[in-house]
Amino acid sequence: MAFERIKKVMERANMSTLLREQPINMLVVDDSEDDAFLLFSELATRGAKVDYIRVDNAVDMREAMQRRDWDLIICDHSMPGFDALTALQILKQSGKDIPFIIYSGHISDQTAYSAMRDGVNDYIQKGNYERLLPVIERELKGAEARRAVRQADNRIIELAYFDKLSSLPNHNYFCSRVSELIAECEQLGKTACGSLLYIDLDRFLRINSSFGYEAGNGILRQVAARLKECAVESGAILARFGGDEFGIYYPGLTERRAVNNFAEWLKQAFEAPFLHDGIELYLTCSIGVAMVPEDGRQVYDLLMNAETAMANAKRAGGNGHRLYVKEMNASSAERIAMESELRHAVERDQLFLQFQPCIDAAGLHTTGVEALVRWRHPERGLIPPDRFIPIADESGLIVDIGEWVLRKACHQAKAWHDQGYADLSVSVNVSAVQFGQPRLLDVVNRALADSGLRPQALTLEITESVVMHDAETAVGMLRALKHMGVKLSIDDFGTGYSSLSYLKRFPIDILKIDKSFVRTLGVNEEDTAIVHAIMALAKSLRLTTIAEGVETEMQMQLLQKEQCDRFQGFHFSRPVDSEVLTERLAREQIGRQAHLH
C-alpha cells in the first residue's frame, strides 16, 4: 500500500512538471465566475500555467473560438439558455481539434456517456481535482500527438503534391486536380471545357551555365511568382512540372480568341527583367495550348498535346504560343523518326558538304565559299536543310554535326590552298547551340590544327539574332574566337535589331546583308533604304559587306552602286559539290591569266 501511495505521489509530481512546461490556453464555458476562478486557482496551485477566458453563451463562445487558438475547453453541463452539447456543436462547426471536457456537478452518468459518444473527451464531477488534472494532462498529450500526426500528414502531402523550389503544386497535384474538375463536370451531365497551357522557358540553360544553379533557382522562383499572379487573377490552376516547365489549367476558357489573349497576357509577365545580384536578365517563353474537349478529355492526352504545341512554338523561334492541331502529332512522329536517323547520318557517311561561291564585287571572281551541310538519306533521298537543321538544333545534334562540318570544311579549304588557290576563304555557320557552349573554342582550334588551315582563312558566321540574344556573353565569346585569328561574320544582318553601341563592341569583320532586303532591292523603297543604311554603317565601322540572295543582274548592279564588297546568290552559282567548285576556280584562274597576257 505504501508503495502505491509513493507511486501516485511521483506520478502527480511528474504530471505537475509536465503541466508547468507550457502555458495552457483554456476556454471555460460556465455561468459561474466563482467556479471558473476556483478552477483556475486549483490548477495554478498544482503548478499549471493557465491563461483562461470564461464564456456562458453561444455568441460569446463562437467569438472566442474565432479570436484565439485554445488548448482546452472545460465546460459546465447545464447553464441558463446554454448547455455542454450545444457548446460541443459550436466546437465541431469550427473544425478545430480541441479537447472538450465536461466539468459539472449536475450530470447523470447516462447523459455523460451519451455526450462522450457524441465527441466529448471526458466528464469530471466539479471539485474532483485529483481526477481532473490527469485527464487534462492526458487530453493535452493526445491533442499534441494528433497535431504531430496532422503535421506529418501535411508534410507527406506537401512532398507528394507540391514543388519544393517554387512552393507551387507539382505535376502530380496538377494532373489529379484537372482530372477531378473534368470528372465533376461529367458527373453533373455537363461537357467539360477549358484550356491547358504548357509553358517552357526559352534558352534557360544559359542562366544556369552563366550564373550557376542557385541563380537559376532564384530566377525560377521569380517566374513562379509572376505566373502565380496571372493564375490567381484568372482563377486558373498553376503548377511547376519540373526544370523550367510550368502548366496552367483554365476551366471554362474555350473561345479561341480569349485563349490567344490569355497566352499573350502570360507572355507579358516576362517583359520586365528578372534580377540576379543587380543584373537584369531577360527571358521569354514558349506556350502550347490544348483545349477540352476537342484536344482530349484525359489530362495526360491534354498534357501531351499541349507539350507538342509548345515544341512547335519553340521550333518557330520561341517567345510565342501555338494552339494544338492534330497535324502536329503526325509531324512530331516524323521528326522523332528523322531525329533517330539523323543520329546515325554522320557515322553512316550520309552527310556531305556543298559550297556556294562568294564573289568579289569588283572583279566578279570567287574569293571565298560558304560550306553548307546536306543529307542524302538512303530511302528519302536528298533531305532539304530546312527540314533536318531545326531537328538537329532542337535535339542538340547540331553540336556534333557542326563540328563535323567545321572539320570537313577546313580540310577542303586546305586542299584548295594546296592546289594553288591560297587566297580562298571558307565560311562555316555556327548555330545558337554551338555558340552557347564554351567548348566551341576547343572545337575550332582542333579543326584548324588537324587540317593545317591558316586561321585567317576561316570565317565563322553567327546570325545577328544569336549574338543579340545575350549580347554581353556574346562579346566575350567573339573576342575569344577573334584572338584565335579567325574572321567573324554577322549573318542575316538587318533582322536582329542590333544597336550601334553593340556593333562597335563586337570584334567582327563582315556584315552579311539578309536576302530579304536584297530580294526587293530597287522595288521596295523601305528595304532599299535599309540596304543603303547598312552599307553606310559598315563603311563607318570598316567592315566588309556581303549581300546574300543575289539572283538578278539588276540586284547586282544596284549593290555595286552601293559599293557592296561581295555577292552570294543563285545569279552566280547554287551550292555545288567540291569537285564542281574546283573546276570553277580553275576556269577563273585560267581566265585571269589570259587577261594578264
> Looking at the predicted structure, is the pLDDT value of residue 414 above 60?
yes
Its pTM surpasses 0.75: no
User: Is there a single domain that holds both residue 218 and residue 349?
Assistant: no
Identify which of 361, 270, 289, 371 has the alpha carbon closest to the alpha carbon of residue 558: 361
Give me the pLDDT at residue 6, please. Answer: 40
| Mean pLDDT score, 161-179 | 90
Cβ partners under 8 Å of residue 407, min gap 6: 447, 450, 451
Q: What share of the chain is helix, strand, coil (3-state, %, to 5)?
A: 55, 20, 25
Q: What is the CATH number of the domain that holds 140?
A: 3.40.50.2300
The tens digit of pLDDT for each residue in 513-552 reads 888 888 888 888 888 888 888 888 888 889 999 999 999 9
In a domain, 165, yes or no: no
**Residues listed for the chain:** 597
Please give the share of the chain, as a percent, with pLDDT higher than 90.
51
Sign of CA dihedral 483, 484, 486, 490: negative
In a domain, 166, yes or no: no
In a domain, 193, yes or no: yes
Give me the pLDDT at residue 519, please. Answer: 87
Kind and range of the H or E run holding 447: helix 440-451
> Looking at the predicted structure, is the pLDDT value of residue 385 above 50?
yes
Identify which of 480, 481, 478, 485 has the alpha carbon closest to the alpha carbon of residue 456: 485
| Mean pLDDT score, 565-573 | 94
Highest mean pLDDT among 124-128, 411-415, 561-565: 411-415
CB 284 within 8 A of CB 319: yes
User: Is there a single domain that holds both residue 178 and residue 294?
Assistant: yes
Residue 363, C-alpha cell as written in the block: 572583279
What number of other Cβ atoms are within 10 A of residue 20's Cβ? 12
Helices (H), 95-212: 109-118, 129-161, 171-187, 205-211
Sheet hosting strand 50-55, strand order edge to edge: 50-55, 24-29, 72-75, 100-104, 122-125
CB 76 within 8 A of CB 32: yes
In a domain, 163, yes or no: no
User: Is there a single domain that holds both residue 187 and residue 233?
Assistant: yes
User: Is there a single domain that holds both residue 250 and residue 121?
Assistant: no
Give me the pLDDT at residue 415, please. Answer: 96
Q: Domain count of the chain? A: 3
> Looking at the predicted structure, is the pLDDT value of residue 443 above 90?
yes
Give me the pLDDT at residue 386, please. Answer: 83
Give me the pLDDT at residue 332, please. Answer: 67
Identify which of 40, 52, 46 has the alpha carbon closest to the alpha carbon of residue 20: 46
Residue 94's alpha-carbon distances to 63, 65, 70, 489, in angstroms, are 11, 7, 12, 72
User: Is there a single domain that holds both residue 309 and residue 405?
Assistant: no
Give me the pLDDT at residue 438, please. Answer: 81
User: Is there a single domain that holds both residue 382 and residue 316?
Assistant: no
Of 105, 125, 158, which residue sits at a domain end?
Answer: 158
User: Is there a single domain that holds both residue 218 and residue 259?
Assistant: yes
What mean pLDDT, rounded, does the chain reach? 87
pLDDT band, residue 432 (cuts 50/70/90): confident
> Looking at the predicted structure, is the pLDDT value of residue 8 above 60?
no
Residue 78's alpha-carbon distances to 82, 106, 108, 118, 418, in angstroms, are 7, 7, 12, 17, 112
Question: Which residue is it, cell 585571269?
Answer: 592
In angstroms, rounded to a whole number, what is the distance separating the alpha carbons of residues 44 and 375? 90
User: Is there a single domain that holds both residue 367 and residue 301?
Assistant: no
In a domain, 449, yes or no: yes
Cβ partners under 8 Å of residue 542, min gap 6: none
In a domain, 84, yes or no: yes
In a domain, 410, yes or no: yes
Give me the pLDDT at residue 98, please. Answer: 94
Q: What is the CATH number of the domain that holds 262?
A: 3.30.70.270
User: Is there a single domain that holds both residue 265 and residue 321?
Assistant: yes
Give me the pLDDT at residue 354, please. Answer: 95
Of 136, 158, 180, which residue sits at a domain end?
Answer: 158
Residue 409, C-alpha cell as written in the block: 570544311
What number of other Cβ atoms are within 10 A of residue 162's Cβ? 17
450: containing domain = 336-596
CB 121 within 8 A of CB 91: no
Residue 171's alpha-carbon distances to 41, 239, 266, 300, 303, in angstroms, are 55, 6, 19, 11, 10
In angstroms, rounded to a whole number, what is the distance separating the alpha carbons of residues 301 and 292? 10
Which of 58-67, 246-255, 449-458, 584-593 has the weakest average pLDDT?
584-593
In a domain, 320, yes or no: yes
Residue 381, C-alpha cell as written in the block: 533521298
Selected residue with higher pLDDT from 426 and 130 = 426
pLDDT band, residue 18 (cuts 50/70/90): very low
Give me the pLDDT at residue 5, please. Answer: 47
Q: What is the CATH number of the domain that holds 495?
A: 3.20.20.450
> Looking at the predicted structure, is the pLDDT value of residue 204 above 60?
yes
User: Is there a single domain that holds both residue 298 and residue 379?
Assistant: no
Question: Which residue is it, cell 509536465?
Answer: 18
pLDDT band, residue 349 (cuts 50/70/90): confident
The tens digit of pLDDT for each residue in 362-379 reads 989 999 999 999 999 888
Selected residue with higher pLDDT from 155 and 412 = 412
User: Is there a single domain that holds both residue 13 and residue 94?
Assistant: yes
CB 369 within 8 A of CB 376: no
Of 272, 298, 325, which residue sits at a domain end?
Answer: 325
Give burial (CB, 10 Å; 0-12/13-18/19+) of 353: buried
Selected residue with higher pLDDT from 570 and 496 = 570
The tens digit of pLDDT for each residue in 99-145 reads 999 998 877 888 888 888 889 999 998 888 888 888 998 999 888 88
Please give the share of the chain, as a percent, with pLDDT higher than 70.
93
> Looking at the predicted structure, is the pLDDT value of residue 168 above 90?
yes
**Identity of residue 410:** C
The tens digit of pLDDT for each residue in 458-481 reads 999 988 778 776 677 788 888 999
User: Is there a single domain that holds both residue 180 and residue 121?
Assistant: no
> Looking at the predicted structure, is the pLDDT value of residue 498 above 70?
no
CB 535 within 8 A of CB 562: yes
Helices (H), 162-212: 171-187, 205-211
